[in-house]
Amino acid sequence: MNILIQYSFLGITLFFAPILVFAQAPQNLEQLIGRFLDILSALIPLIIALALIGFLWGAAKYILAADDPTKRKEGSHVMLYGIVALFVMISVWGLVAILTGTFGITSTAPITPTLP
């Protein structure tokens, strides 16, 4: 399990490396919030996909262990956690959409050049 966490951290780090390398420091709060929303909008589909894979993994465990009640119960718990994770992530995605629409914040805030 420890190696899986390390590889996950490495994958996430490599995924966001271009954002950090080509990043320009935000000049105001709107740009900072826009940068945060860019990162969040890239992360949410990834986490939703992981939750969906977890749900499908639990469904497979439930179906394949039809004769063993303890393994079926374990599969149903994994499915339940997957559904809860999907609900939470889709709710967060909707909340971000509502907040950006309400306050008029765009995730790609234009960066205006400043003179030195």
The 3-class SS string of the chain reads: CHHHHHHHHHHHHHHHHHHHHCCCCCCCHHHHHHHHHHHHHHHHHHHHHHHHHHHHHHHHHHHHCCCCHHHHHHHHHHHHHHHHHHHHHHHHHHHHHHHHHHHCCCCCCCCCCCCC
More confident residue, 21 or 113: 21
What average pLDDT does this structure show over 41-53?
82
The mean of the pLDDT values for the chain is 78
pLDDT of residue 22: 61
pLDDT of residue 56: 92
CA dihedral of residues 112, 42, 83, 91 (deg, nearest 10)? 10
- Let me know if 89 is exposed, middle or buried by CB neighbors in 10 A (0-12, 13-18, 19+): buried
Q: pLDDT tens digit string along 54-108?
A: 899 989 989 998 888 888 899 899 899 889 988 988 887 788 788 878 877 765 5
